[in-house]
Amino acid sequence: MAFTSNVTTFTLSGLNVTKGNKYFFFSLVLLAYLTMLFFNLCLAITILQVRTLHEPMYVFLCNLSINGVYGTSGFYPKFLLDIISDSGYTHDISYSGCLLQVFVIYSSVMCDFSTLTVMAYDRTVAICQPLKYHSIMTTQAVIHMLTFCWLYPLFCSVLMVALTSVLPLCGSQIDKLYCDNWSVVRLSCVPTTLHNVIGFIVILSFMAHALFIVYSYKKLITACIHSKEGKVKFMQTCVPHLVTLIHFAMSVLFDTMYSRYGSRGASSVRNFMSLELLIIPPLFNPIIYGLNLTELRRRILKPCKRHAVKNTENRRKN
């Protein structure tokens, strides 16, 4: 087979289940996207505006919400256009657009994991070393952690995309709803040993993140289980983080299963497996934290209560 290094567009062929129901799917996806944007922006704006919420835990949560908006912007606008278009089963994306989508989605997912890792560290210090908390979690320390949460994922994503961009390709068909790095790499006409090694190193680094989170929760559970106050703290601040971690792990598992076994099974199941990573974390993270953290819930609902009181007063006057 002759090498083809001049691929200018990729064909995404995962939208066949939407044929004949495109307006229903468009409405459903648009509603999900707007809901994600609303909850994440609402949470982020509330934390940024209220000075009493400028604590490390809330700052990291704000970062999680901002990252949710960033990550979804790399997929949903293009996906919505594909659904509503009349292209049939397949949809095209430019070569540069595909690599940009890979960069945004990968960096967002890795930023999510890094943020969850520093949040686990923050909760460990807060509960296991409460007297030293403010001396450890200083403003400078928080800035360094946030910098790490963004720079390391961006570096990994740039490295992977840069390596992928120089590969000669022998095809342009991607059997997925969006571009991912592995789907592009396996179209290569040449061996991809270096890409596999780099990918393995990146996976190992995030496995280290996971081990640190497990170690942190072991310490947290040990510290909280012996007192009623500790159990209350764990339920209020650690359970939302734990639920988020479980959602994230499930999302990564679904996406990994799709990447490895994407050619098997019903297309609707495969499409859900590929999208779960882009639906569950950004949609449920702000809801879980917003409902469970008392101070945050009170601040978010305060304008709604004020508006309800004004309406009640206006009705009484009339």
Residue 48, domain CATH: 1.20.1070.10
User: Does residue 287 belong to any structural domain of this protein?
Assistant: yes
**Whether residue 268 has pLDDT greater than 90:** no
Quote the percentage of the chain above a pLDDT of 90: 22
What whole-number distance in Å separates Cα of residue 234 and Cα of residue 239?
A: 6
Burial of 263 (0-12, 13-18, 19+ CB in 10 A): exposed
**Which pLDDT band holds residue 16 (cuts at 50, 70, 90)?**
low
Q: Model's pTM, two decimal places?
A: 0.82
User: Does residue 128 belong to any structural domain of this protein?
Assistant: yes
**Nearest C-alpha neighbor of 277 from the set 240, 250, 242:** 250
* Mean local confidence (pLDDT), 251-278: 62
Give the distance, in angstroms, between the CA of residue 131 and the centroid of all CA atoms in the same chain.
33
Residue 26, token pair as written in the block = 């468009």
**Whether residue 159 has pLDDT greater than 90:** yes
**Whether residue 1 has pLDDT greater than 50:** no
**Whether residue 270 has pLDDT greater than 80:** no
Mean pLDDT, all residues of the chain: 79
* Mean local confidence (pLDDT), 289-306: 63
Tally of domains in the chain: 1
Cα end-to-end distance, the chain, whole Å: 81
User: 282's torsion region: left (phi>0), alpha (psi -120 to 50) or beta?
Assistant: alpha
**Farthest-apart Cα atoms in the chain, separation:** 81
The pLDDT tens digits of the residues spanning 245-260 come to 776 677 666 666 666 5
User: Does residue 92 belong to any structural domain of this protein?
Assistant: yes
H or E element, residue 180: none
User: Does residue 3 belong to any structural domain of this protein?
Assistant: no
User: Does residue 1 belong to any structural domain of this protein?
Assistant: no
Question: Structural domain of residue 284, as residue ranges?
Answer: 9-317
